[in-house]
Structure 1
């Protein structure tokens, strides 16, 4: 399959998505009956979330990941946009983007800030840019994402929920928005730390229903810095496969390992710079999203004009739509909740194939990265579902 083949809205299958993972794991542990994903009955489920692990990338570089490929059960489609903040919130809440409201790397929560004085960088939980000031005061995580997390609900139901993530993320806005308030949060800031702690937990055997959730950011970081498929990226994939192999070996009867990703990644091609293209800045008060998908917030009364100019300027390079079209075609996975509707840009642009819609002035670091995601190519939207049992 052409890795840049696009899965356009309307052609997205009704198969299970990443949002079905937490509910399926809960059902496997004995809480709830809905189980769209084939996770067997278990006393312990370990979910290993590998940031940036696309299904096509796994197949293309399978020589570096024999354990992951050997236990691959099926592909999963993540939600749109195919980016970390959105996908992790879908995993943590069991909801599509249209319901949880974390609309991407950045967006303007107009329901909380009608004047759109700032955008929210949901990955860093900062104002306007990745290195902007903290956003908690203007955009509290529990107001941006008010729905309960599946992890908190599982804890309240009586299961043990243990999170293995870098200490840096413990109190972050995204952690609170996506996962709620993990009571048993353990610092695991490297693949080796995840491996060691997961193996130790599994060695204890059946301790009653337990969900162990671990997050590995290293593969995504390598893809952004050097590009997906580069030697540096392949080395990170090999290390992750070693982690998975150690956990598989430690599985006892009744324990299950589930590995997946939050998005895939493409290598940058043509770059169109929004900040230096007057036709793309006139009448615009804010731009959100990332280089593969943009939310464009127009000045009052200028939405039609902004749409016309963006559609003309990006003809052949991006899919440009009005907010009404986005809502009608359910780009974000379901009928949008009222507060989510307000957050969608007046114009939304999704870059085609390997094109980037960059912002050299406002996002210099992101503009220079060789690896990107967020769009709707199969390379970005599809992740593997990997299941191993004791």
Structure 2
């Protein structure tokens, strides 16, 4: 099979994300435009201040399916338009897209685990352990930096361990940092700060819905309970906002449950491991870094094995199709040689470079399905 061949899969490869104003890349730029920051455009009504909440793992399909448990968020759905998170549909990449307003091919955060071409080593863009200088790895100016430079107070409210982390520095730098443990405490903190300074941009991150989906599955009662709790707190946040302050709620990706019997560990599969030097990406969106001269064989083997479980294509094809948006020359060497994206509820992982904890998670994401890619962008205009 030639490395220039077409993709294989159970259906046609989904269209590439738009990376425009109506998708995750456009959320912060549109909000900045509504605050009057020069250099940004958007269709949102003008506001004196804005709060943006990102609920990790709140896929649009999941929200629609369980909207009866989220009356406040459901009330905002009719005025929203479908949006995509970008590819791969994973937190590290989406935070780059959200924080810079740029596609992955421009900001360079290309997946859960990627190879640093300067060292040849695989590193995790979520934990950033032993990773490169985040300001060098992601060199573009963030939206928060531009808003802060315009004289608008900018704050990020999240877990304390995100303060100064590699991913925060790479994707979200420019905002002051504040922390509180529970979502209720974060809502209280945001409201207290807004009473003091309504002319501001505040970003609130909440990750427990994603964690619950990973551990229990996004079809579980535990996930529904967490959704109900999130909905109640966001309603309280909306009701407490000062006049002139808008609220926008979005997410970084959706999720799909993958049964244990549908997971294959490449470390114990000699056929799939042949010719693969390093396995990057994650369970549902792998980037295979191949041994020299082995790319065509890897493509043929994986295409034959996956069949209708997903899509296998040369990375050059993935780039030309625009899955990452336009890829800048200094970022292209970070990409693997072969892309594998899952369609049905399947997953392939490599226990040599991924922990058994990650491999055992029920809820997974990263691929091109609408369950993983579609995210809500819900806006409540300022009163």
Scaled by the length of structure 2, the TM-score of the pair is 0.91
**251 and 147 in structure 1: CA distance in 2 versus 1, 3 angstrom threshold:** same
Matched, 1:341 2:332: yes
1:308 to partner: Cα distance? 2.1
Q: 2:164 aligns with which of 162, 171, 176?
A: 171
Which residue in the other structure is 2:155 paired with? 162
Which residue in the other structure is 1:10 paired with? 15
Q: 1:318 aligns with which of 310, 328, 340?
A: 310
Matched, 1:19 2:25: yes
SS in 2 for 1:294: strand
Which residue in the other structure is 1:306 paired with? 298
Matched, 1:227 2:217: yes
Instruction: Map Cα deviations across residues 302-352 of structure 1 (whole Å, 9 max, x no partner).
Output: 2222222222222222211112211211111x2210122111111110011
Instruction: Map Cα deviations across residues 157-188 of structure 1 (whole Å, 9 max, x no partner).
Output: 11110111111110110000111243x21112
Q: 1:356 aligns with which of 339, 347, 350?
A: 347
Matches within 5 A, 1:181-196: 181-182=174-175, 184-196=176-188
Which residue in the other structure is 1:41 paired with? 46
1:143 to partner: Cα distance? 1.7
Instruction: Map Cα deviations across residues 40-73 of structure 1 (whole Å, 9 max, x no partner).
Output: 2111110001000011111111122111111232
CA contact (8 A) 1:31 1:157 kept: yes
1:195 to partner: Cα distance? 1.0
1:193 to partner: Cα distance? 1.6
**99 and 11 in structure 1: CA distance in 2 versus 1, 3 angstrom threshold:** closer
Unaligned stretches of 5+ in structure 2? 1-9
**178 and 261 in structure 1: CA distance in 2 versus 1, 3 angstrom threshold:** same
Which residue in the other structure is 2:113 paired with? 106
Q: 2:126 aligns with which of 94, 101, 123?
A: 123
1:213 to partner: Cα distance? 0.4
Q: In structure 1, what is the Cα distance between the partners aligned to 2:184 and 2:357?
A: 28
Structure 1 stretches of 4+ moved >4 Å: 11-15
Matched, 1:216 2:206: yes
SS in 1 for 2:377: strand
CA contact (8 A) 2:51 2:203 kept: yes
Q: In structure 1, what is the Cα distance between the partners aligned to 2:360 and 2:12?
A: 26
1:201 to partner: Cα distance? 2.4
Which residue in the other structure is 1:132 paired with? none
Q: 2:86 aligns with which of 65, 79, 86?
A: 79
SS in 1 for 2:213: helix
1:205 to partner: Cα distance? 6.1
CA contact (8 A) 1:7 1:377 kept: no
Scaled by the length of structure 1, the TM-score of the pair is 0.90
Q: In structure 2, what is the Cα distance between the partners aligned to 1:79 and 1:327?
A: 13
Q: In structure 1, what is the Cα distance between the partners aligned to 2:115 and 2:204?
A: 30
CA contact (8 A) 2:59 2:251 kept: yes
Instruction: Map Cα deviations across residues 275-314 of structure 1 (whole Å, 9 max, x no partner).
Output: 1111111122111111100011011222222222222222
Instruction: Map Cα deviations across residues 82-106 of structure 1 (whole Å, 9 max, x no partner).
Output: 1100011111011001111110111
Q: In structure 1, what is the Cα distance between the partners aligned to 2:160 and 2:111?
A: 23
Q: In structure 2, what is the Cα distance between the partners aligned to 1:33 and 1:148?
A: 13
CA contact (8 A) 1:61 1:229 kept: no
Unaligned stretches of 5+ in structure 1? 127-134
Q: In structure 2, what is the Cα distance between the partners aligned to 1:203 and 1:292?
A: 43
Which residue in the other structure is 1:130 paired with? none
Structural RMSD (CA): 1.8
**11 and 281 in structure 1: CA distance in 2 versus 1, 3 angstrom threshold:** closer
1:217 to partner: Cα distance? 0.5
SS in 2 for 1:123: coil
Matched, 1:246 2:236: yes
CA contact (8 A) 1:54 1:264 kept: yes
